[in-house]
Amino acid sequence: MPEIAPLSNDHDRAGFDCGVAELNAFLKSTARQHVKKGISRTFVLTDQESPAVIMGFFTLTLCEIEAESLPSSYARKYPKHGLPAVRLARLAVSLKHQRKGYGELLLAEAIHRTVLISEQAGIVGLFVDAKNEGARSFYEKFGFASLPSASLQLFLPMKTLHAANSPT
Ligand SMILES: CC(C)(COP(=O)(O)OP(=O)(O)OC[C@H]1O[C@@H](n2cnc3c(N)ncnc32)[C@H](O)[C@@H]1OP(=O)(O)O)[C@@H](O)C(=O)NCCC(=O)NCCS
């Protein structure tokens, strides 16, 4: 059974390979440091049979978004200053486990946790910087929309987040 839990020292960070060196290096060398410093939180997907093996991970952090960077239909609803938001700072699935639905599973958990944050503190949405066109297509499948000024920067507004988090 796959399970998603906070990254800990019990997980084999060095053994993870998603094919993108920057993401592997973040998990290996930076993710735990950022957790300790309170900069971000990283969650890993493992299987109960091999609990140390990381099949995928995501990282959430908080950020500030300028209203003018949003599509105009959203921008006009907000005051013209920095708005609170959650950023999906990293998302990756190991090469061995890609295209089996685990990216979708991790994204659903990230959305669930973003909704919990919104209930406690208030945010305007979930933002992500896609690494490339393939990653952009992946996010668009789940309702993310590109920001007008940068097509690899995407966001999921609160209404879509709540819909995605509701049981079907
Ligand atoms: C992008 C990534 C997280 C997707 O995870 P995954 O486990 O392979 O994706 P899933 O199996 O959950 O796929 C979910 C859906 O997205 C689609 N999808 C996945 N990767 C895609 C890609 N590169 N381009 C287009 N669509 C893609 C799948 O076809 C699937 O759609 P379907 O259900 O209609 O078939 C994974 O491929 C990865 O880690 N890539 C390397 C790192 C990376 O680019 N991370 C993104 C950082 S911004």
Check which CATH number belongs to the domain holding 40 and give it. 3.40.630.30
* Contacts for 69 with CB less than 8 Å, ≥ 6 apart: 75, 147, 148, 149, 153
Mean of pLDDT over the chain: 95
Mean pLDDT calculated for residue range 65-87: 93
147 burial level (CB within 10 Å; 0-12, 13-18, 19+)? middle
CA angle 50–54–59, rounded 5-degree value:
145
Q: How far, in Å, is the centroid of ligand 1 from the Cα of 160? A: 20
Q: How far, in Å, is the centroid of ligand 1 from the Cα of 64? A: 27
Q: How far apart are CA 91 and CA 131, in angstroms?
A: 10
- Partner residues linked to 92 by β-bridges: 57
Give the model's pLDDT for residue 164. Answer: 84
Which has the closest alpha carbon to 148: 81, 66, 85?
66
**pLDDT > 70 fraction of the chain, expressed in percent and rounded:** 99
Euclidean distance between the first and final Cα of the chain, in Å? 22
Give the model's pLDDT for residue 98. Answer: 97
| Cα four-point dihedral sign 29, 6, 41, 138 | positive
Tokens encoding 102: 């685990």
Alpha carbon 99 to its chain centroid, in Å, reads 17
**Model confidence pLDDT, tens digit, residues 3-36:** 999 999 999 999 999 999 999 999 999 999 999 9
Give the model's pLDDT for residue 166. Answer: 83
Mean pLDDT calculated for residue range 147-161: 92
Residue with the nearest Cα to atom 39 of ligand 1?
Answer: 92
Q: How many domains does the chain have?
A: 1
pLDDT at 168 over 70: no
* Closest approach atom of ligand 1 to CA 92: 39
| Domain membership of residue 39 as a residue range | 2-165
pTM: 0.95
Give the model's pLDDT for residue 119. Answer: 96
> Sorting pLDDT into bands at 50, 70 and 90, what band is 64?
very high
Lowest mean pLDDT among 23-27, 79-83, 115-119: 79-83
